[in-house]
Amino acid sequence: MSLDDATIAQAVGSAHAAHRDDPGGANASYIPYLASVDPSLFAVAVVTADGRVFSTGDDRFEFAIESISKVFTMALAMEQVGAAAFHAKIGADPTGLPFNSVMALDLNKDRPLSPLVNAGAIASTSLVTATGADDRWNRILSAQRDFAARELQLSDEVNDSEQTTNFHNRAMAWLLYGGDSIFCDPMEAVDVYTRQCSTLITTVDLATMGATLAAGGRNPITGTRVISSGNVPHILAEMTMEGMYTRSGDWAYTVGLPAKSGVGGGIVAVAPGELAIAAFSPPLDDAGNSVRAQAAVADVASELGLNLY
């Protein structure tokens, strides 16, 4: 049964009104560009599996996709190599440690475990079938565009800011290389991973990307199949286990929807067969999740009765 327009619009509007002035959190400071974004920005959006769009707040503001890109690169690599090979090469277990943890690699023979932490995401980027760095990047950008139903663009400002400060990720790529978990040149993998984090999206783009997963891999705006429906449950499982970093368990317990956050301040949650909820606001908690976006997505999910468990 699909939810009616008035109910969804009401849930989106009241979540925005309830949390627009929530204090707390701080912009990501380890990436210079992100530290400079206006912390008061806040938007909430829903896109349904049948293509209806609801949004409010700063919903035209474009922000960096950051870690949320990991979901769509995972989807592309899985589509290309198959779910079984993807699972065997990357893994599917939460690390229980922060998203950029070197200790997680150390504890696991330099294998990444999850495609939704930096190490596993860099490994997934390297697994994409491509002829070189630009081809790898173009395939990933095109997948992001197919999910968003819009010609998303790279921000040179975000990318330059990250390419000149991503030494930690470069070091992890060499550790992965030593663990036979990088499938192209390690520095090419980090270069392209950094670009994929630097795409600009609006909150509506993000909800559309999630709605494509909610609709079983078919973009509800364009009607185009983006990935096979059989891979969607694997992707949602990964999001449940690691999408909200070290708070993924708390999120499953309280909200009950697969979700993914990024240090740009975006969060998307997917209610399979129904809709996706996205929210954006830059200040993050100590796990790297947007304070206001978490509260807004949780409210909309609860208001619409979407907890899966």
* Binding-site residues for substrate: 67, 118, 162, 169, 193, 245, 263
Q: Out of 66, 79, 191, 274, name the contact with ligand DON by CB under 6 A.
A: 66
199 binds ligand DON (CB under 6 A): no
Contact 253, 31 (CB under 8 A): no
Asked if residue 251 binds ligand DON (CB under 6 A), the reply is: no
Query: Is residue 263 part of the contact set for ligand DON (CB under 6 A)?
Result: yes
- Contact status: 165 vs ligand DON (CB under 6 A): no
Contact between 59 and ligand DON (CB under 6 A)?
no
- 203-214 and 232-242 are packed helices; what angle lies between their axes, rounded to 10 degrees? 120
- Residue nearest to ligand DON as judged by C-beta position: 67
Residues that bind ligand DON (rule: CB under 6 A) add up to a total of: 12
Cβ partners under 8 Å of residue 308, min gap 6: 256, 257, 271, 272
Let me know the angle formed at the C-alpha of 153 by 278 and 86, rounded to the nearest 5 degrees. 70
Binding mask 121-160 for ligand DON (x = CB under 6 A): ----------------------------------------
Select from 124, 144, 155, 169 the one that contacts ligand DON (CB under 6 A).
Answer: 169
Output DSSP code: residue 275.
Answer: E
Q: How far apart are the first and last CA of the chain?
A: 17
Residue 242 binding ligand DON, by CB under 6 A: no
Rule CB under 6 A: is residue 288 a binding residue for ligand DON?
yes
Nearer to ligand DON, 8 or 278 (CB): 278
Strands (E), the chain: 43-48, 53-57, 63-64, 153-154, 199-201, 259-261, 266-271, 275-280
Report whether 157 contacts 136 (CB < 8 A).
no
67 makes contact with ligand DON (CB under 6 A): yes
Using CB under 6 A, pick the residue from 110, 162, 205, 299 that binds ligand DON. 162
Query: At residue 292, what are phi and psi to the nearest 5 degrees?
Result: -70, -35
- With both helix axes pointing from N to C terminus, report the angle between 167-178 and 186-197 in degrees, rounded to the nearest 10: 140
Among 118, 125, 181, 231, interactor with ligand DON by CB under 6 A: 118
The CA-atom distances, in angstroms, between 7 and each of 70, 177, 303 are: 31, 50, 9
The answer to whether 281 contacts ligand DON (rule: CB under 6 A) is no
What residues numbered 83-102 form the site for ligand DON, per CB under 6 A? 99-100
Site residues (vs ligand DON, CB under 6 A): 66-67, 99-100, 118, 162, 169, 197, 261-263, 288
